Chains A and B, each alone.
Chain A
Amino acid sequence: MILELISIILGGMTIGSALMVILSKHPIRSVLYLVITFFFISGHFILMNAQFIAIVNIIVYAGAIMVLFLFVLMLLNLNKVDEKKTNHPISFTAVIAGGALLLVILAALKDGITFTNTIVKSDVGLVENLGTLLFSKYVVPFEISSILFISAMVGAVLLAKREKQHID
């Protein structure tokens, strides 16, 4: 009873802060609202007893990726360059298209949505169970992801390295 009430309130706050991400004019405010959205989504993960994913979401997403966004935003120093207004017809069409996307997804799923598929509290999201699964069944993809990180790091350094002669 209290759990469902918490989840509904948390869901409303998640949707509100996600809307503020795309509605706020200043990009730094968008980043901060996105961090708040990620914290709310981690709250949903904790409600579903997925503790490992909740902590990973906070540390990696809200802690690392969003701080990277914030640093790039401060590095570019866009405060003086104001974002040009999206012209009205394109914005209107985008909202219509997104609403149609939501409508299609929900219409495709409407027979399955009965609000009776209750999530029972499971221990599958605890660190011990996920660690056993990660290092037995999924150990090869886990090792391959380190290669992905190495290549992403090399690519980022290579791309952002300042050239000797200035490109203009």
Chain B
Amino acid sequence: MPAALSITQGLTVDYYVILSSILFSIGAIGLMTRKNMIVMLMCIELMLNSVNLLLVAFSSYFNQGDAQIFVFFIVVVAAAEATVGLSILILAYRNKRNIDADLFNNLKG
């Protein structure tokens, strides 16, 4: 095992693999821990952005632009997803006057 994050190597893609794995795990933990539905949506955005970071790192590493186009499309899909998710959230707030995810348990057996 080489010296971790040796500063003389240059900007390595391995560093970005580790960084985006950590960010993705933080987003997953937040999604499982928090009860507020807005914060849960924000954790999904954090996970999407960590994947974007990994795609851009590999795009620079392989010197191919295709992955950055895919990042652009991921941003587009995230914008559409946030719009629809937030309008569903407003609808949920109108029903229960709260956005706690535990209150929406009508399908619980």
Point out residues on A near B: beta carbons under 8 Å: 1, 3-5, 7-8, 11, 14-15, 18-19, 21-22, 27, 30-31, 34, 37-38, 41, 44-45, 47-50, 52-53, 56-57, 60-61, 64-65, 68-69, 72-73, 75-76, 78, 81, 83-84, 86, 90-91, 93-95, 97-99, 101-102, 105-106, 109, 112-120, 122, 124-125, 129-130, 133-134, 137-138, 141, 145, 148-149, 151-153, 155-157, 159-160, 167
Contact assessment for A130 and B56 in the assembled complex, using a CB-CB cutoff below 8 Å = no
Given known contacts A22-B30, A133-B69, A160 and B11 CB-to-CB distance under 8 angstroms: no
Interface string of B23-49 (1 = CB under 8 A from A): 111111110111110110111011001
Contact assessment for B19 and A83 in the assembled complex, using a CB-CB cutoff below 8 Å = no
The binding surface of chain B is classed by DSSP as helix
Given known contacts A57-B75, A125-B56, A95 and B29 CB-to-CB distance under 8 angstroms: yes
Residues in chain A near residue B36, CB distance under 8 A: 27, 78, 83
14 cross-chain CB contacts under 8 A: A34-B42, A44-B56, A47-B11, A50-B68, A61-B49, A97-B28, A99-B25, A115-B4, A115-B9, A115-B14, A145-B76, A148-B77, A155-B83, A156-B84
The binding surface of chain A is classed by DSSP as helix
Point out residues on B near A: beta carbons under 8 Å: 2-19, 21-30, 32-36, 38-39, 41-43, 45-46, 49, 52-53, 56-57, 59-61, 63-66, 68-69, 71-73, 75-84, 86-91, 93-95, 98-100, 102
Residues in chain B near residue A49, CB distance under 8 A: 60
Contact assessment for A18 and B100 in the assembled complex, using a CB-CB cutoff below 8 Å = no
Closest partner residue, chain A, to B25 (CB atom): A102
Contact check: which of B7, B22, B43, B79 meets A1 at CB < 8 Å? Answer: B7
A-B pairs with the 4 shortest C-beta distances? Answer: A22-B30, A98-B29, A94-B32, A152-B80
Contact assessment for A65 and B22 in the assembled complex, using a CB-CB cutoff below 8 Å = no
Closest partner residue, chain B, to A31 (CB atom): B42
Given known contacts A5-B7, A91-B33, A102-B25, A133 and B65 CB-to-CB distance under 8 angstroms: yes
